[in-house]
Structure 1
Amino acid sequence: MIQTVATAPLPAAENYIVKKQRLQPETLSGTEKRISVVTGIHGDELEGQYVCYEIQRRIKEHPELLTGIVDIYPALNPLGIDSIIRGIPHFDLDMNRIFPGNSEGSMAEYIASEIIDDVKGSDLCIDIHASNIFLREIPQVRINELCADTLVPFAKRLNVDYIWVHGAATVLEATFAHSLNTIGTPVLVVEMGVGMRLTKDYCNELVDGIFVEMKDLGIWQGDVIEPKKAIVSTDGEVHYLNAEYAGVFVPTVEHWTSVKKGDKIGEIINPLEGVIKEEIFSDCDGILFTLREYPIVSEGSLLGRILERNGAAS
């Protein structure tokens, strides 16, 4: 059933409305587990839209196998989704910087507060993000090290390639995930793909993992895959590649490939002068898990991230 999570008035007799789809067995005992799948916080991140569709499609094929509650929130920022704008249009505001919100605050703060109230208490929440238009990411879960003991076991079952445990100082307290994790609702933040696009293979892999989590929680009784074994790392094992010159970045390797120290990753070229301004090389042995997608770069632009192989643990 489709339910309204939050609504607030907008100019021109319109409303800001956040909706969810709730899937549940016909008869409830009151002890069912609940999983929430959340996406669309940023309007230019569309990978989660297909995930929301595919979860429902699979459940609707075999509703008799559903033994718990699945809440699907496709668009926490519906105005951003409609206009393909990362933040909330006309407010110049990143929605993922206003949680947990305030029921007595501005419209955006009120909406954020209502969302938190609705999602809290879930046995697990999956917060799906894509990258921006500039970078392509392999499917990964990013975790605050303060929550690692609770979240890493869940993340290992999600069928992603990589689990990146961040230092606490790198996690913003005003995010959706941090706000819920601090009150005891476990949230896994997924990053994958590229902004404004759908990467169907990545989406299907994540859906497979979500069904594994549902099976573990007792929400789904159907067959599920054996999830892939993810690489788990910390901040100290990740190397950043940044541009020293402005120009056009042309990669010379494929995304999500193994590289060795000294391997060439790409070139920054100058179309006007017809010269190579910079060659980019790996400074370690590892795996290239982030790669520049949008070719125009400025000095300091992020070109890629390499997970140092020797430091990675599974």
Structure 2
Amino acid sequence: MTTVIASAGLAVNERIEIRRNRITGEGENNGKRVCIVTGTHGDELEGQYVCAEIACVLSENLSKLCGVVDIYPALNPLGVDSITRGIPLFDLDMNRIFPGTAEGTMAERLAADIIKDISGADICIDIHSSNIYLKEIPQIRINELSADELLPYAKMLGCDFIWIHSSATVLESTLAYSLNTTGTKTLVVEMGVGMRITREYCRQLTAGIFNLLKNLGMWSGATEPVREPIVSGERAVEFVNSGADGIFVPCVEHWVDIEKGDHIGDVIDPATGRLEEYVTAPCSGRIFTLREFPIVYGGSLIARILGGDYNA
């Protein structure tokens, strides 16, 4: 059942409405609830496909579902409609205003209503894509302060990589941070490319979500085997940035093992054809982020490498 959980008036007699699709199982009610959230950034569309796939399967198999799955396909519907990262007109990143307040601006009131509606769920899965510049392998990002509690659930989702961030790098104004600090366990998923749908990644995460539901005792239907993720742990993450302006042409694949000094790609001057930079790996490890948009300037992020030996 689709319900409006937050709304606000706009100009010319229009309204912004944030909707939730609540799917209630016909199996024995175990009192559990899982929330699947996406569309906080309007140019991140991978989660749209995941929501559609999950809603389709659950709706056709209600007898195999115990408890409740809440799907929030677009927390920023204006951004999704206009394919902009933030809330249009306000130039505001919605994932920087949580937990919001009922006495605040329109965006802050919407944020407060979202927090109120999700709070109390057993698990919330907050799905994001990368931007148009970078491609990310399916990964889960966790604040180190919540790692002990969240890591067992994160491993159930079948993503390739779990990145545990230091608390100093985590923004306190995000949906995930706000929910985690108030007791609602929330996992942040990043995958794919902005403004695109990578079906392989979406299906991988969809299978992982059904695996999570199975482990929570909420799903009695079929599930697929999920991957065992690599956990960052003490492994260093190295950032590779361009040292020149031009177009970046990669010569490696995404999510591959490399050795220190290996050739990653070239930065070329499109006007002269001159090689501006021969980009090499600063360490051995595995590439989990790779430049997708070719135009680069000095300092542009080209890749992230998770250090370590994965062939051992």
Question: TM-score range with shorter-chain normalisation?
Answer: over 0.9
Same amino acid, percent of matched pairs: 55
Is the counterpart of residue 240 in structure 1 residue 225 in structure 2? no
Instruction: Show the counterpart of 2:155.
Output: 156
The SS at the match of 1:146 is: coil
Residue 63 of structure 1 deviates from its aligned partner by 1.5
* Partner Cα distance (2:285, 2:38) in 1: 31
Q: Which residue does 2:9 correspond to in 1?
A: 9
SS at match of 2:156: coil
Q: Is the 8 A contact 2:27 2:63 kept in 1?
A: no
Distance apart, 1:234 and its partner CA = 4.0
User: For the aligned residues, what is the CA RMSD?
Assistant: 1.4
Provide the residue aligned with 2:76 in structure 1: 77
Residue matched to 2:57: 58
2:284 is aligned to 285
Deviation at 1:148, TM superposition (A): 0.2
Query: Which blocks of at least 5 consecutive residues in structure 2 are unaligned?
Result: none
Contact map agreement 2:240 2:303 (CA 8 A) in 1:
yes
Question: What amino acid is aligned across from residue 200 of structure 1 in structure 2?
Answer: R
Q: Which residue of 1 aligns with 2:21?
A: 21
- Normalised TM-score (structure 2): 0.97
Question: How far is the alpha carbon of 1:28 from its aligned partner?
Answer: 7.4
Q: Distance in 1 between matches of 2:28 and 2:155?
A: 30
**Is the 1:165–1:235 contact (alpha carbons within 8 Å) kept by the matching residues of 2?**
no
CA distance in 1, matches of 2:27, 2:198: 36
Whether 1:173 and 2:169 are equivalent positions in the alignment is: no
Runs of 4+ in 1 over 2 A off after TM superposition: 25-29
Change (3 A) 1:235 1:192: farther
Q: Which residue of 2 aligns with 1:227?
A: 226
Q: Deviations over 1:2-55 (max 9, x none)?
A: 0111010011110010001000024875x5200000000000000000000000
User: Does the CA-based 8 Å contact 1:167-1:235 persist in structure 2?
Assistant: no
Summarize deviations over 1:53-92 as a string: whole Å, max 9, x none: 0001111222210111000000000000000000000001
Alignment of 1:1-314 (within 5 A): 1-26=1-26, 31-234=30-233, 237-310=236-309
Q: Which amino acid aligns with 1:7?
A: S
**Distance in structure 2 (CA, Å) of the matches to 1:186 and 1:123:** 7
SS of aligned partner of 1:156: helix
TM-score by length of 1: 0.96
